[in-house]
Amino acid sequence: MDEPLASETSIRTGCPYCGVGCGLSVSVAGGRVLKVRGDREHRSSRGEVCMKAAALPPTVAREGRADRARIRTRASGRFAETSVATAVARAAAELRRIVNAHGPDAIAFYGSGHLSTEDYYTLAKLVKGFLGTDNLDTNSRLCMASAVAGYKRAFGADAPPGSYADIDEAEVFLIVGANLADCHPVLFRRVAKRLDAAPETVRVIVVDPRRTETCDIAHSHLSLRPGTDVALLNAMLHIAIREGHVDKPFLERRTEGFAAVRDAVESWTPEVAEELCGVPSAAIVDAARTFARSRKAVVLWAMGANQSSHGTAKNAAILNLCLATGNVGRPGCGPLSLTGQPNAMGGREVGALAGLLPGHRSLSDANDRNTVAKHWKVPVERLPERPGRTATEIFAGLEDGSVRAIWILATNPAASLPDLERARRGLRRAELVVVQDAFFPTDTTDLAHVVLPAAAWAEKDCVMTNSERVVTLHRKAVEPPGHALPDWRLLALLAHELGFGASFAWPSAAEIFDEFRTLTAGTTCDLSGVTHARLASGPLQWPCPSGEHPGSERRYEVRFATASGRARLEAVQPHPPAEPTSHEFPLVLTTGRLGPHWHTRTRTRWSRNLENRAPEPILEMHASDARRVGVVDGGFAEIRSRRGEVVAQVRVTSEISPGTVFLPFHWTRLDGPEKSANNLTHAALDPISKQPELKHCAVRVRALRSPEDGA
Ligand code: SF4
């Protein structure tokens, strides 16, 4: 182990939180992280950081960290500390028993956009190449899957066309279902700076049922009814076509499918859209003209569009608007989906989701299976041919007994999945639950049989890719506590126990990355020219096909990645939400993030500063709805859906549409059984992306005299 640093040293690394992927400069002394600042040299963030990154030091201290392996003893049901080797051996023996008795599809692995590319690659190789199942998915399915499906269907590849640099040139920003101010703060500031630089020409339009802080810089806020985005976007395209703002030369040369889309949006007049969306037709016309007249229009979107039972259709509607107006493939324009997690993109690069193989390859393609099997030096028959279970399908399998074991890495599904009671029931029924995590306890470790201690941010060298395809080297600054190890090392130990150790015997993360990057040569995510050594001098943006290549700021300038080279527009129509409101459950619940917190607070709860800024979940409710149920501002309420209940304090506001309530999802059952928003949400999926509809379920609200008066 390295000696603790005697005097203060500065180390360049990346942020472990959101997909903006800011570069950080970390001050370290005496083996401790002292301070975190922005890295001025990092191309994605240019020295900016938000409050979460600045509050990182207390999260790498010992409190709340998983520093020992633990096994639950049969006699007491309590955890006993043990060595990592013993815990891995016990877990491996159970996995082997279950696979021998029930086949490889009786086990599943569930990862996270927090894993590094090297962790992810090790996981994909072990599960798909050696264990013979594709039951590997991650919490990125809850976050980005609909955007991925949208990109693939329209452009032929899972990759945004442009870069953050486009923000500095854009003249129109259409922000759909994204609260940048809270969730992607550094990009929010970049948009605000662009507006400050050209206040006469730049226009910002926000589409969101809530009036969030993002609306502070907006010229127009289209406060639509939740779930009606497709109707609104179709109406905007209707206006663009009717008023002659489509880019005909671009459509003719570079795209296909426009005629069907034109027919599909013909009936979506702004007046018809107003009926469904609740947005005045004049505001729709104004937004459509502003967007469609510009050849420098950027669309930014996130979970508000993606977390839907028709999220893929919403993404198609966004991309149709960009393509029809020629706003793709040039500086200052284009669609740019915002990733929630720091390395969701990396997980897809290495194929660590159901249905994928490394290099954006498909498990269903025989050539792709052959190429990967050869690289991994395994018989191709060992690779599964059928796509495995996606996130919520894995937990449904645990519930019905078709999946018997689950290995969970760097995530907290017992708090973050929709319809929590059902997900937790699945975990309770499992014969084996192994959790690799940097934090202990969590809601999920509470249901585990084996807990393995993982190294966290600043405790390992690794690579992550942000929302704009920029790859950053995250450097080790301090030693992990106790027995904690990087996730890939824990997986390599498992591989060794299972008899595959020789294929996982890398000495460091750099060698794992080398094995992975060569497998991407010639693919739609070509990282073959990226190495840890090159990244030590600064981040690189893929595609980067050789050691001399400077990286690619823009894609699809000449041709798209489809077979024809043309982008595909796709006719889409709005669908009703999976769970409409009713007499019994008359309000729509939408859930989301707050600026100070991250996911289920496994990390941010250890920063007093962040906790003080948002100590409790608060329900946002429109004044007219609050009056109807007798709830007062600052009072308490019970929020109930068909699946469970939550008790929360209420903020009565006019900043949310009547009929809609908002609850943040950061609080979990560790904070109290009635604090988790996912007690209420449901698990209906988009049929293509398999992303759950976390943004829309039907609830009722009842006033309480006190929190104790509740469920
Ligand atoms: Fe980290 Fe995102 Fe904040 Fe940047 S904006 S510092 S990546 S949390």
* φ and ψ at residue 698, rounded to 5 degrees: -95, 130
Alpha carbons 698 and 711: distance in angstroms, whole number: 18
pLDDT at 3: 45
Q: Do 143 and 339 form a contact (C-beta atoms < 8 A)? A: yes
Please provide residue 342's backbone torsions phi and psi, each rounded to the nearest 5 degrees.
Answer: -70, -25
Q: Is 556 a domain residue?
A: no
The gap from C-alpha 137 to its chain's centroid, in whole angstroms, comes to: 12
Q: Exposed, middle or buried by CB within 10 Å (0-12, 13-18, 19+), for 103? A: exposed
Would 433 be classed as within a structural domain? yes
**CB of 478 closer than 8 Å to CB of 31:** yes
Residue with the two structure tokens 């400077």: 550
Residue 249 inside a domain? The answer is yes
Tokens, residue 479: 């030693």
CA of 325 to the centre of ligand 1 (A): 31
CA count, 13 A, side-chain hemisphere, 370: 3
Query: Which atom from ligand 1 is nearest to the alpha carbon of 187?
Result: 5
Distance of CA 71 from the midpoint of ligand 1 (Å): 35
Ligand 1 nearest atom to the CA of residue 45, by list position: 4
| CA 393 – CA 354 distance, rounded (Å) | 11
Q: Is residue 460 part of a domain?
A: yes
**Final residue before a domain boundary, out of 337, 358, 393:** 337
Which residue type sits at 293?
R
Assess whether pLDDT exceeds 60 at residue 6.
no
Closest by CA position to 285, among listed 300, 262, 268: 268
Q: Is pLDDT of 710 > 60?
A: no
- Please state, rounded to an integer, the average pLDDT across all residues of the chain: 95
**pLDDT value for 73:** 80
Q: Residue 5: pLDDT band by 50, 70, 90 thresholds? A: very low
Would you state the structure tokens that stand for residue 71, as one six-digit string? 């096994």
pLDDT for residue 559: 95
Same-domain check for residues 527 and 466: yes
Reported as a pLDDT band with limits 50, 70 and 90, residue 339 is confident
pLDDT for the residue numbered 673 = 85
Using the atom order of ligand 1, give the atom closest to the CA of residue 598.
8
105 alpha carbon – ligand 1 mean position (Å)? 37
The mean pLDDT value for 537-543 works out to 97
The domain that contains 402 carries what CATH number? 3.40.50.740
Q: Are residues 175 and 275 in the same domain?
A: yes
| Residue 361 neighbours by CB distance under 10 Å | 20
CATH number of the structural domain spanning residue 683: 2.40.40.20
Contact between 202 and 194 (Cβ < 8 Å): yes
Share of the chain above pLDDT 70, in %: 99
At residue 449, does pLDDT exceed 70?
yes
Question: Which ligand 1 atom is at minimum distance from the Cα of 14?
Answer: 7
Same domain, 486 and 414: yes
CA contacts within 13 A on the Cβ side of 483: 16
For 68, the token pair is: 């020992």
Residues 170 and 229 in one domain: yes
Cα 23 to averaged position of ligand 1 atoms, centre (Å): 9
Given 337, 356, 384, which residue is the final one in a domain? Answer: 337
Q: Is the pLDDT of residue 340 over 90?
A: no
Contacts of 169 (CB under 8 A, 6+ apart): 194, 296, 331, 332
Give dist(CA 258, CA 262) in Å, integer. Answer: 6
Please give the residue range of the domain that contains residue 463.
69-142+342-541
Alpha-carbon distance 619 to 594, whole Å? 12
Same-domain check for residues 176 and 116: no
Q: What's the whole-number mean pLDDT along residues 54-67?
A: 88
Name the closest-CA residue to atom 6, ligand 1. 49
Q: Tell whether 524 is covered by a domain.
A: yes
Enumerate residues 6+ apart whose C-beta is below 8 A from 601.
666, 667, 668
Question: Using a 6 Å CB cutoff, which residues line ligand 1?
Answer: 15, 17-18, 20-22, 45, 49-50, 52-53, 184-186
224 shares a domain with 96: no
Distance CA 705, CA 572 (A): 46
The tokens describing 73, both together, are 């003893």
67 close to 482: Cβ distance less than 8 angstroms: yes
User: Hey, which of 186, 341, 345 would you mutate to test ligand 1's pocket, going by the most ligand atoms within 8 Å of its Cβ?
Assistant: 186
What total of structural domains would you count in the chain? 4
Query: DSSP letter string over 634-684?
Result: T-EEEEE-SS-EEEEEEEEESSB-TTEEEEES---TTT-TT--GGGT----
pLDDT tier for residue 64 given thresholds of 50, 70 and 90? confident
Helices 311-324 and 229-242, packing angle to 10 deg:
20
Report CA(215)–ligand 1 centroid distance (Å): 20
Residue 3 maps to a domain? no
Statement to judge: residues 125 and 55 lie in one domain: no
Residue 494 neighbours by CB distance under 10 Å: 26
Residue 290 has pLDDT above 90, yes or no: yes
Domain shared by 196 and 328, yes or no? yes
From 314, 337, 360, the end of a domain falls on: 337
The whole-number average pLDDT for the span 301-329 is: 96
Nearest to 36 by CA among 54, 16, 52, 51: 54
Q: Does the pLDDT value for residue 617 go beyond 50?
A: yes
Closest CA to 177 of 78, 279, 3, 302: 302
Say yes or no: 53 and 160 in one domain: no
Residue 443's φ and ψ, nearest 5 degrees, are -60, -30
Q: pTM for this one?
A: 0.95
Query: Can you tell me the distance from the alpha carbon of 233 to that of 237, in angstroms, rounded to the nearest whole number?
Result: 6
Identify the CATH number of the domain in which residue 181 sits.
3.40.228.10
Q: How confident is the model at residue 157 (pLDDT cuts 50, 70, 90)?
A: very high
Residue 598: band (very low, low, confident or very high) from pLDDT cuts 50, 70, 90: very high
Residues 680, 700 contacting (CB under 8 angstroms): no
Atom 3 of ligand 1 has which residue's CA nearest to it?
50
- Is the same domain home to 245 and 126? no
Alpha helices, H only, 180-302? 180-183, 185-197, 229-242, 248-254, 258-265, 270-277, 281-292
pLDDT above 90: residue 98: yes
Query: Residue 571 falls within a domain, yes or no?
Result: no
CB burial class (10 A; 0-12, 13-18, 19+) of residue 324? Answer: buried
Q: Which atom of ligand 1 is nearest to the CA of 53?
A: 6
* Atom nearest to 18 CA in ligand 1: 2
| Same domain for 184 and 103 | no
User: What SS3 class is residue 301?
Assistant: strand
Do the beta carbons of residue 47 and residue 31 sit within 8 Å?
Answer: no
Average of pLDDT values for 592-619?
A: 93
Both 400 and 508 in one domain: the answer is yes
Give the phi and the psi of residue 397 in degrees, each rounded to 5: -65, -35
Tokens of 630: 């007798």
Backbone angles phi, psi at 622, to 5 degrees: -70, 145
pLDDT tens-digit profile of 22-51?
Answer: 999 999 999 999 999 999 999 999 999 999
Q: How many CB atoms lie within 10 A of CB 422?
A: 18
Give the tokens for residue 77. 């049901």
Query: Is the CB of residue 128 less than 8 Å from the CB of residue 357?
Result: yes
103 HSE (CA, 13 A, CB side): 8
Whether pLDDT at 1 is above 50: no
pLDDT in tens, 463-520: 999 999 999 999 999 999 999 999 999 999 999 999 999 999 999 999 999 999 999 9
Separation CA 401–CA 145 (nearest Å): 26
The CATH number linked to 31 is: 3.30.200.210
Question: d(Cα 491, Cα 415) in Å, to the nearest integer?
Answer: 24
- Asked if residue 486 is part of any domain, the answer here is yes
3-state secondary structure of 577: coil
Tell which one of 35, 36, 52 to mutate to probe ligand 1, the residue whose CB is within 8 A of the most ligand atoms: 52
* 197-217 mean pLDDT: 97
